[in-house]
Amino acid sequence: MKRWIVFMLSICMLMILAACTSEGSETQNTSETESVAAENQTNAETESKAQENETNDTVSDTTGSKILVAYFSCTGTTEQIADWIADKTGADLYEITPETPYTEDDLNYNDSSSRANQEQADSSARPAISGSVDNIEQYNMIFLGYPIWHGQAPKIIYTFLESYDLSDVTIIPFCTSHSSGIGSSAENLHDLCSGTVTWMDGQRFSGDATENDVIEWVDSLGLPESEARTVGEFDFETKTVLLNSGYEMPIMGLGTYSLTDEECAVSIAALLEAGGRLIDTAYMYGNEAAVGQAIRDSDVPREEIFVITKLYPSQFDNAAEAIDEALEKMGLDYIDMILLHHPGDGDVEAYLALEQAVADGKVHSIGLSNWYVEELEEFLPQVNITPALVQNEIHPYYQENDVIPYIQSLGIVVQGWYPFGGRGHTAELLGDETISAIAEVHGVSSAQVILRWNLQKGVVVIPGSSDPDHIRENLDLFGFELTDEEMEAINALDRNEKHDWY
């Protein structure tokens, strides 16, 4: 409690200092259309970093306080600022998403009848928000971001503030605009909050603001340092791993290779019912449509499900069209991750198309499948975005003990397919005496031992199955832990025996 009092006293001192150096009153945007154009240009020129549409896993700072960055962004500029703030502070991210997205016509501020103009002119307007912040009471500091619309915050910010009890929360506003300062756009928000809220003076960022500009501002606030999660680090409590793209991915899920549409639907339903949230498919599996349908048919919110698909080399020449085809087949607004299925002619150009899809918001994260050390050394210097994931064949008889550490050293997460050795080899691997003996000690199955061995090596697992009981069993990996001796015993089984040609 004493540490929190000291923290709040520091905040008060910062407010006094900030008041003395305030930018002053706002000015009207010279042209809202020009502002949107500048924001679009910045969004195109800034290297895209994917953002989560829901709050990330908890990240606590050293005083026990927790920070949320909540933002509304139409064209990407505010989103980029929010991303930089979250990177600096280790805060959780929440995008304020309208139930009815704004179209280009809605944002035509030269048209008095446009949706944005009508809302800004209506004091009672409160655009509906899709989704909400889970457990908002855990946060005692919120960075609140928005673009300036005719000198004020968009009315959806009003909706956000009136939707929660923000008692005892400190709010730090920031805005993006072509010319207007933050001015009264923040002051006019103060009375919308229920309870006692501490408002700090905010900051305006122009369309050409840099990450360094944002970092300098955050540093000037004197906030406590945060203990941010490390990229590639497995969190066995949340059962996720932080990708270098900024997204979190479940560390175990379901592979859908060889599953027919009907089997795929049943398997995904079993996975989601059992709490699994990671699904791996591919163009060559022929079941992307079934995967998408199963997701839409479930009661699980889309943002909780992580979907991976892959482009096959036959698609590399028309990668942009292949990405759109995958989105259309699955009926999804975005794909969490797309991989190149294996090296082939035109793979660099295809990967650059994936990079563009990230910039366009169609794909959150990108990666590779069946790339090894030599292939990576040749490939990576030719692309701009480091892959978030490399997916390779990995099982006790083919362990890639030289490849896995190399990939992980690059900040890339490793995912293993064929964890049970693949068809024609599964029975032998599950019946291996060493693995069976370890399973008996822990009272689990051989399959669970193999999957746990992968997780303890930092390898994400996507076993395939059409049996609901096996799917549930393959997710039940956290009630036991392999000893160092047991890990070494399984490591000793390596035969360098690859079971597929990739």
Q: Which amino acids are annotated catalytic?
A: 285
Please, which residues bridge with residue 175 across strands?
146, 204
**Helix (H, G, I), strand (E, B), or coil: what is residue 241?**
strand
**Helices (H), ranges, 46-187:** 77-89, 115-121, 155-162, 183-187
Q: How far apart are CA 223 and CA 169, in angstroms?
A: 14
Query: Which residues are bridge partners to 474 per DSSP?
Result: none
- How many whole angstroms from its chain centre is CA 129? 20
The residues pairing with 152 across neighbouring beta strands, listed in sequence order, are: 149
Q: According to DSSP H, which parts of 163-258 are helical? A: 183-187, 211-220
CB 403, CB 375: distance < 8 Å: no
Tokens of 321: 């069209």
Sign of CA dihedral 421, 426, 430, 431: negative
Side chain identity at residue 130, one-letter code = S
Token pair, residue 190, equals 């103060």
Q: How far apart are CA 502 and CA 257, in angstroms?
A: 14
Q: Cβ atoms within 10 A of the Cβ of 422, count?
A: 19
Nearest residue to 177 (alpha-carbon basis) of 156, 195, 154, 200: 154
Nearest to 177 by CA among 208, 202, 210, 155: 208
Q: 94 with 66: CB under 8 angstroms?
A: no
Whole-angstrom distance, CA of residue 193 vs CA of residue 305: 32
- Tokens 């600096």, residue located: 88
Q: 365: part of which helix (H) or strand (E)? A: strand 363-369
d(CA 49, CA 448): 35
